[in-house]
Chain A
Amino acid sequence: MFRFLLGRLAVLIPTFIGVSIIAFSFIRMLPGDPVALLSGERVMSPERHAEISHALGFDRPIVIQYFDYLWGVVQGDFGMSIVTKKPVIDQFFELFPATLELSLCAIIFAIVLGIPAGVIAAIKRGSFVDQTIMGTALVGFSMPIFWWGLLLIMLVSGILQWTPVSGRISLMYFFPPVTGFMLIDSLLSGQAGAFKSAGGHLILPPIVVGTIPLAGIARQTRRRCLKCFWETMCARRVPRASRPSVSSASMRSEMR
């Protein structure tokens, strides 16, 4: 397990460097002048253009710009946002807990529903139940989630009015962020109803974000289960003690 993690990490670093080079060069090699874009339809004088280019460092060779960027990133300096003029990293961490909270809920949703669905489909292989589950999973897997999200908002929030349309908590509640996780902060605030409101806002979004992973997990689980049913049957001769149980083997495969 440790070696496995180490191997993964070793791949991670070159991947990050590669991604940074590709992202950086794509943005800079595409046509279009970022300084000219700042002024839009308003024509900028050449002097002003040069001044702003210089201030933002666009007048230096592109390789220097890349290393400058990389050096900054290594030190945790992702630069200033051109739009808000605030450090990018600060803005990232201000919002990141929300992403994490949503992702965790979405993962829980996907696992809790996906694994049983996959197992049931495997057990009832070829049956109507199996085909329904796998069909639904295929649709879910192919769903563009921005569209799926809008559909669910229209139905559940708009027509049925069961959940709020958007946001993380009702605007009635207002308390300082402590952990950045709305579920925890709403409890800490001690305001009556705040946690319920935060929870209500965390129903539809995890469903939408979790739909594709859910479909993926269900399909994978089914495939792995079928594989290990087969292996288990072949392994009849193996002493019972060293025989992998269905669930643990399937779970380990899941992790790969």
Chain B
Amino acid sequence: MKKLTTLFAATALATLMAGSAWSKTFVYCSEGSPEGFDPGLYTAGTTFDAAAHTVYNRLLEFKKGTTETEPGLAESWTISDDGLEYTFKLRAGVKFQTTEFFTPTRELNADDVVFSYERQLKADNPWNKYVTGASWEYAAGMGFPEVIKSVEKVDDLTVKFTLTRKEAPFLANIAMPFASILSKEYADKLQAEGKMNQMNQMPLGTGPFAFVAYQQDAVIRYKANPDYWGGKQKIDDLVFAITTDASVRFQKLQAGECHLMPYPNSADVQAMKADPNLKVMEQAGLNVAYLAYNTTQAPFDKPEVRKALNKAINKQAIVDAVFQGAAQPATNPIPPTMWSYNDTLQDDTYDLDAAKKMLEEAGVKDLSMKLWAMPVSRPYMLNARRAAELMQADFAKIGVKVEIVSYEWAEYLDKSKAKDRDGAVILGWTGDNGDPDNFLDTLLGCNAVGGNNRAQWCNQEFDALVKKAKETSDLAERTKLYEEAQIVFKREAPWATLDHSLSVVPMRKNVEGFVQSPLGDFAFDGVDIVE
């Protein structure tokens, strides 16, 4: 504690000196406290914004504003012909941050990469259990323990990953925050001093901002990393002012106490747009809300019936009532900001007469069904009960009786998985890595039936396309396969695609260079304040 205090005092002095007129401080009113600062341990976006996008880099990075990958700490890579060996050439001369608590003596090398992965993958790595209850949830969720056979150092600047199976989304997966590259030298020092916990409290990496201090539930401070391989940032200090209430964030933004805020109340957005000191960015988020029929049960096993019901859903009304416009009706199962989104597809038009006729033609009479409404508010569906009531009213007009059911959230998730579940379920998904595979195969593939595939939909044609795309590393070819898969999806209609919610980012007018991420990240490299 004593040491920590000295450290605080030293940084305080440094901050005070740097706090003179010419230092540029950017304040971000973040929505919550990070769970910790080791991105591998956690799954929340809040944690990734605070740890991964400031302090750390990955081998590959997402190109700003897209879901495509670009070179990060790896300058280039080759993939063996059988698709199982990925060899990465690391960028030379990448320096780790020099901070009050650690001075690196060497540059980034292959050891750091091997360490960063092995701590998550190997149970016998001393860092695998360095935090009580460490479970490396995200690596497990992306299948890394099964997919990655080994991570080896070839030479100082070359790392070879060997996979157990062909996995095209692998390149997108390693660009994700949990796959951040840590410093092995720093880790070794902490281990030798018996202070391993510090890795999760005072992070040190190669990223654009170096960690300075964290006051729990209040403030996180960073300073621009002068040695950053991508060049020093235009702002000198970055501050996260943790403000959990969206209305208070808005007040702070208006008062000029912060420059940018995430997740506004949808009711405040109009006022934000009207404020002459603010500007507002909007983009479809990496999410989808859907209504999944149980395609194994009559009459929902018939595509005509599903399509008829889809035509009776007024998506615009749902978007207006539930999101006050801060969403867009969904046509495809993937959001429009994702590569391979098939924009030639037309959505089912809202037409009650046609829907009624289609049902009659399919021989369905006096249908009554259960409609499952989630008990919680999620970014892709703020109020499922309201949406369910709107659908209920519309379905009544075509002679379909709807009973709305709901359960406690964990139970809802569990019960809705069952293969013999009755009725249709409202649920959604927020993407992880910006790869279409993460929606199409994860939510609609045959092997997800009884799990994430709430429609229990196993269509051989769709599944073959998606599985083939998973094993194809050529991007153009993968794009084609996914576009075709979406055509099959739309024809067979296992879901009614409901909406993609918009991610709305209000900021002060003088903020420049902020790029909205379709992945929902908040990253402040490249941001500037102009006076």
Q: Does B132 contact A (CB under 8 A)?
A: yes
Among residues of B, the one whose C-beta sits closest to the C-beta of A146 is B245
Q: Are B12 and A176 in contact (CB under 8 A)?
A: yes
Q: Which of A34-42, A67-75, A218-226, A231-239 contacts B (4 or more CB under 8 A)?
A: A34-42
Q: Are B218 and A168 in contact (CB under 8 A)?
A: yes
Q: Does B217 contact A (CB under 8 A)?
A: yes
Q: Are B132 and A43 in contact (CB under 8 A)?
A: no
Q: Which of A56, A95, A166 meets B216, CB within 8 Å? A: A95
Q: Collect the chain A residues with CB atoms within 8 Å of residue B243's CB.
A: 166
Q: Does B255 contact A (CB under 8 A)?
A: yes
SS class, residues of chain B in contact with chain A: mixed
Q: Are A166 and B248 in contact (CB under 8 A)?
A: yes
Q: Does B452 contact A (CB under 8 A)?
A: yes
Q: Does A161 contact B (CB under 8 A)?
A: yes
Given A42-B141, A176-B8: A157 in contact with B251 (beta carbons within 8 A): yes
Q: Collect the chain A residues with CB atoms within 8 Å of residue B131's CB.
A: 85
Given A84-B35, A94-B216, A176-B8: A153 in contact with B251 (beta carbons within 8 A): yes
Q: Are A85 and B134 in contact (CB under 8 A)?
A: yes
Q: Does B5 contact A (CB under 8 A)?
A: yes
Q: Does B474 contact A (CB under 8 A)?
A: no
Residues of chain B from 239 to 254 with CB closer than 8 A to chain A in the complex: 239, 241, 243, 245, 247-248, 251-252, 254
Q: Are B408 and A164 in contact (CB under 8 A)?
A: no
Q: Are B452 and A43 in contact (CB under 8 A)?
A: yes
Q: Does B137 contact A (CB under 8 A)?
A: yes
Q: Collect the chain A residues with CB atoms within 8 Å of residue B247's CB.
A: 150, 153
Among residues of B, the one whose C-beta sits closest to the C-beta of A56 is B133
Among residues of B, the one whose C-beta sits closest to the C-beta of A91 is B216
Given A31-B411, A172-B19: A41 in contact with B218 (beta carbons within 8 A): no
Q: Which of B132, B218, B251, B408 meets A154, CB within 8 Å? A: B251
What 1/0 mask marks residues of chain B from 41 to 83 whose CB sits below 8 Å from any chain A CB? 1000000000000000000000000000000000000000000
Q: Are B255 and A33 in contact (CB under 8 A)?
A: no
Q: Collect the chain B residues with CB atoms within 8 Å of residue A64's CB.
A: none
Q: Does B413 contact A (CB under 8 A)?
A: yes
Q: How far is the CB of B178 from chain A (nearest CB, A)?
A: 13
Residues of chain B from 254 to 304 with CB closer than 8 A to chain A in the complex: 254-255, 257
Among residues of A, the one whose C-beta sits closest to the C-beta of B432 is A42
Q: How far is the CB of B270 from chain A (nearest CB, A)?
A: 16
Q: Are A55 and B133 in contact (CB under 8 A)?
A: yes
Q: Which of B4, B35, B216, B257 meets A83, CB within 8 Å? A: B35
**Cα–Cα, bound, A171→B255 (Å):** 14
Q: How far is the CB of A154 from chain B (nearest CB, A)?
A: 7
**Cα–Cα, bound, A191→B255 (Å):** 24
Q: Does A3 contact B (CB under 8 A)?
A: no
Q: Which of A31, A95, A158, A178 meets B408, CB within 8 Å? A: A31
Q: Does A174 contact B (CB under 8 A)?
A: yes
Q: How far is the CB of A131 from chain B (nearest CB, A)?
A: 34
Q: Are A43 and B417 in contact (CB under 8 A)?
A: yes
What 1/0 mask marks residues of chain B from 471 to 502 whose CB sits below 8 Å from any chain A CB? 00000000000000000000000000000000
Q: Does A126 contact B (CB under 8 A)?
A: no
Q: Does B140 contact A (CB under 8 A)?
A: yes
**Cα–Cα, bound, A252→B410 (Å):** 52
What 1/0 mask marks residues of chain B from 375 to 413 whose CB sits below 8 Å from any chain A CB? 000100000000000000000000000000001111101
Q: How far is the CB of A15 from chain B (nearest CB, A)?
A: 29
Q: Collect the chain A residues with CB atoms within 8 Å of residue B9's CB.
A: 175-176
**Cα–Cα, bound, A215→B334 (Å):** 54
**Cα–Cα, bound, A94→B216 (Å):** 7
What 1/0 mask marks residues of chain B from 2 to 40 whose CB sits below 8 Å from any chain A CB? 001100110110011001000001010000010110000
Q: Are A43 and B451 in contact (CB under 8 A)?
A: yes
Q: Collect the chain A residues with CB atoms within 8 Å of residue B408's CB.
A: 30-32
Among residues of A, the one whose C-beta sits closest to the C-beta of B443 is A41
Q: Collect the chain A residues with CB atoms within 8 Å of residue B235's CB.
A: none
Q: Collect the chain B residues with CB atoms within 8 Å of residue A176's CB.
A: 4-5, 8-9, 12
Q: How far is the CB of A181 from chain B (nearest CB, A)?
A: 14
Q: Which of B35, B409, B448 meets A85, CB within 8 Å? A: B35
Q: Does B414 contact A (CB under 8 A)?
A: yes
Q: Collect the chain A residues with CB atoms within 8 Å of residue B217's CB.
A: 95
Q: How far is the CB of A239 from chain B (nearest CB, A)?
A: 59
**Cα–Cα, bound, A84→B36 (Å):** 6
Interface residues of B (CB under 8 A from A): 4-5, 8-9, 11-12, 15-16, 19, 25, 27, 33, 35-36, 41, 131-135, 137, 140-141, 200, 213, 215-219, 221, 239, 241, 243, 245, 247-248, 251-252, 254-255, 257, 378, 407-411, 413-414, 417, 427-430, 448, 451-452
Shortest Cβ-Cβ A-B pairs, 6 listed: A176-B8, A32-B410, A43-B451, A36-B410, A165-B251, A31-B408
Known contacts A55-B135, A153-B251; can you find 8 more A-B pairs with CB under 8 A? A31-B407, A33-B410, A85-B35, A95-B217, A157-B251, A157-B255, A175-B8, A191-B16
